[in-house]
Structure 1
Amino acid sequence: MMNKLMLLFSVLFLFVACKDESIPKPYGNVRLEYAEANYIDFKTECSYTFEYSDRAQKKPKDSLCAYDLYYPKLKATIYLTYEEIGEEGIVSLIRDAEKAVYEPHTTKAEYIEPKLIVRPNEKVYGTLYALGGESAMNYQFHVTDSTKNFLRGAVYFRSHPKPDSLSPALDYIRKDVEHLMETIRWK
């Protein structure tokens, strides 16, 4: 009788103790870490030169002195467009550059943060625009010598613009864009 009672308690204990409780796990993203960039000279026949990351691939475009800097691991591209300042003057070029930042992105961007670049000794003047939120473009910039040369750039990622998951890549590419703007020289 005692054995049967022990067997009954053992079986009941197993059913009560082995209750399968599922605990929800939080959603997470893969942690992205990128190697430190080494910078190399951007050499062309154009009126400008700068240093860019060795992680990027330089690809010429059809128009004169326009290039793409493609980052395969980041799935990002910096699109560079060069223009000589003509009769229309620098004001219209800057107005067009600002229009490309503010007009299409004000509905999706949570903020647009301009950062001025002024290096009078090298005759480099420009603005870097950081666009926050779910904007298709994350950075846009322009640099000029104010008399002859005007270089415009825009950064796009080939992915859905989710600020949280793109944050490490955005920080990485921002350093490269700032380095490009800090090292640009006119020929």
Structure 2
Amino acid sequence: MLLIFCISLTACQDDVVIKPDAELRLDYPTATYNTSETGCNYNFMINDNAVLVKNRNCASKVAYPKMNATIYITYQKVENNNLDSLLYDAQKLAYNHDIKANSIPEQVFVNPDNKAFGIFYSINGNAASQSHFYLTDSIQHFITGSLYFEAKPNFDSIYPAVVYLRDDIRAMMETLEWSTH
């Protein structure tokens, strides 16, 4: 009787199936760009999925509401030989994230046609920001930008969005034009 009971318990169980880890698939629309009107001494093209929010002092935000991400942009005039301090502050801002970052590769950016020169920083890891950049004409204009997500920084989870937004930042840098207002 005990043998029949044991056989009936083991015979009715399903086979154990090992399931693979789930992978989140995030698809973003192909980016199309239009010229922004900042009303300040610079303009650039932004993704149609973004919203330009103008602030005082020619600072602005490029918000991505569906991604809970924002690129914060600050404009400053180059005057009184302050270019060195502006460059130092921009580099320091990027490297303040080295405590949590795994790496911070730099890409030099040069666009002599638009007189725009700078550096793009990719901040890889669980840092508060995932990208920084600055651009200047070395004479009158200087802007810095930083990408932040309104979420706990878990780089593995937000990586697809980071790649998408880094491409947008590069497009902004490539299309930047200085103006005089």
Q: Could you tell me the TM-score, scaled by structure 2's length?
A: 0.90
Deviations 1:124-172 (A, max 9, x none): 1010000111111100000011100001100001112222211110110
Matched, 1:176 2:155: no
Residue correspondence of structure 1 range 92-107 to structure 2 within 5 A: 92-102=85-95, 104-107=96-99
Task: From 17, 40, 45, give the equivalent of 1:46.
Answer: 40
Contact in 1 for aligned 2:130/2:147 (Cα 8 Å): yes
- Paired amino acid for 1:146: S
> What is residue 109 of structure 2 aligned with on the other side?
117
- Paired amino acid for 1:37: A
Deviations 1:91-140 (A, max 9, x none): 110000011111x2111001011101111222110100001111111000
Which deviates more from structure 2 when the two are superposed, residues 77-86 or residues 157-166? 157-166
The runs of 5 or more residues in structure 2 that have no matched partner are none
Question: 1:35 is paired with a residue of what secondary structure?
Answer: coil
- Paired amino acid for 1:43: E
Identity %: 37
Task: From 140, 145, 156, give the equivalent of 1:153.
Answer: 145
> What is residue 60 of structure 1 aligned with on the other side?
54
Quick check: which has more Rg, 1 or 2? 1
Contact in 2 for aligned 1:29/1:165 (Cα 8 Å): no
Supply the distance in 1 between the matched residues of 2:102 and 2:10 (Cα, whole angstroms).
52
Quote the offset at 1:20 in angstroms: 4.1
CA RMSD between the two structures: 2.0
Matched, 1:139 2:131: yes
> What is residue 65 of structure 2 aligned with on the other side?
72
Residues 134 and 12 (structure 1 numbering): CA distance in 2 closer, same or farther, change over 3 Å?
A: closer
Supply the distance in 2 between the matched residues of 1:12 and 1:44 (Cα, whole angstroms).
77
Q: Could you tell me the TM-score, scaled by structure 1's length?
A: 0.87
Quote the offset at 1:23 in angstroms: 4.3
- Paired amino acid for 1:186: W
Contact in 1 for aligned 2:38/2:54 (Cα 8 Å): no
Supply the distance in 2 between the matched residues of 1:55 and 1:70 (Cα, whole angstroms).
9
Deviations 1:34-61 (A, max 9, x none): 0011101111321111100011111122
Quote the offset at 1:22 in angstroms: 4.7
Supply the distance in 2 between the matched residues of 1:155 and 1:12 (Cα, whole angstroms).
62
Quote the offset at 1:19 in angstroms: 1.5
Supply the distance in 2 between the matched residues of 1:148 and 1:13 (Cα, whole angstroms).
86
